[in-house]
Amino acid sequence: MAMNDHCILVVDDQRDYLKAIQLILEGVGYTVATRASAAEALEVLDQRPVDVILADIAMPQMNGYQLFEAVRKRPEWAAIPFIFLTARALDSDIRYGKALGVDDYLTKPIQPEDLLATIEGKLRRRQQLIQGRVQAPPQATDSGEIMIGSLRIDTERHQVWLNDDLVELSAREFTLLAHLARNVGLLVETCDLLQITHSVTASDAAEARELLRPIVRSVRRKLGFAEGESGYIETIRSLGYRMVEPTTD
């Protein structure tokens, strides 16, 4: 792998683990900043450009979830890929982390090859965003709203408006739509959506994928699209779904 000047910020209160991750990343040419607390990580972000944030969740005083929320609130940091790397491997923890909108959720222990592949993918996508080839994910406003074209999603009140008209969605329909909206322009795999909407584990996802189709069809219909029209939710055959802004003639 060629040397590069990307800076990876790694945050973990276990200093031995910090050192191990640092050696892996520096071994392939990354610049690495390691910090043992979320507060220290925020100081780094204030002081220098960072290309990827890799953070543990279980940290004292300010945990990884709180760090993620603090990063996303700052417009100048909102586009930095944020990855959880944690020992919290319960399905409920993974679902919660993904529902927050984190870019990826990795569990310890992790193979160096898997870690490097994930980071490379996030850096490649960030470069695409910078070059304008992919629409950047919308960030929720202070009121918790996400805007995509004529669609407005209030993630705090669990309400959706289309052209200022309230759209009545079930709890699962809203959960699916909101998660896709947080990842607009990106493929969200079927197994991830099933974990969020139906608490279905990855091992059972293949058998349960038919549960998603009627929900997607219903959301499309409620957003005013006829049978056979994708609207805001594009189907990626055999893989999952992607949120897009419908094209207008």
- Predicted confidence (pLDDT) per residue in 91-115, tens digit: 888 888 888 888 899 999 999 999 9
Distance, in Å, from the CA atom of 29 to the CA atom of 82, rounded to the nearest integer, reads 20
170 vs 246: which has the higher pLDDT: 170
pLDDT exceeds cutoff 90 at 191: no
84 vs 194: which has the higher pLDDT: 84
- Report whether 83 contacts 122 (CB < 8 A): yes
What pLDDT, on the 0 to 100 scale, is given for residue 35? 97
What pLDDT, on the 0 to 100 scale, is given for residue 45? 95
Query: Does this chain's domain 7-130 share its CATH topology with 145-243?
Result: no
- Return the axis-axis angle of helices 190-198 and 91-100, rounded to nearest 10°: 100
Question: What does the pLDDT look like over 44-90, one tens digit per residue?
Answer: 999 999 999 999 999 999 999 999 999 988 878 888 899 999 998 88
Mean predicted confidence (pLDDT) in 30-49? 95
What is the pTM (predicted TM-score) of this model? Answer: 0.55
Q: Which pairs count as long-range contacts for 161-166, CB under 8 Å and 24+ apart, including other chains?
A: 162/223, 162/224
What pLDDT, on the 0 to 100 scale, is given for residue 117? 92
The count of C-alpha atoms lying within 13 angstroms of the C-alpha of 87, restricted to the half-sphere facing its C-beta, is 6
pLDDT exceeds cutoff 70 at 152: yes
Q: Is 185 left (phi over 0), alpha (psi -120 to 50) or beta?
A: left
At 3, is the pLDDT very low, low, confident or very high (cuts 50, 70, 90)?
very low
pLDDT exceeds cutoff 60 at 153: yes
Domain ranges of the chain: 7-130, 145-243
Edge-to-edge order in the sheet of strand 145-148: 145-148, 151-154, 159-162, 165-167
In the chain, which ranges are E strands?
7-11, 31-35, 52-55, 82-86, 104-107, 145-148, 151-154, 159-162, 165-167, 187-189, 233-236, 240-243
Q: Which CATH superfamily is domain 7-130 in?
A: Response regulator (3.40.50.2300)
Distance, in Å, from the CA atom of 20 to the CA atom of 3, rounded to the nearest integer, reads 19
Query: In the CATH scheme, what is the code of domain 145-243?
Result: 1.10.10.10
pLDDT exceeds cutoff 80 at 141: no
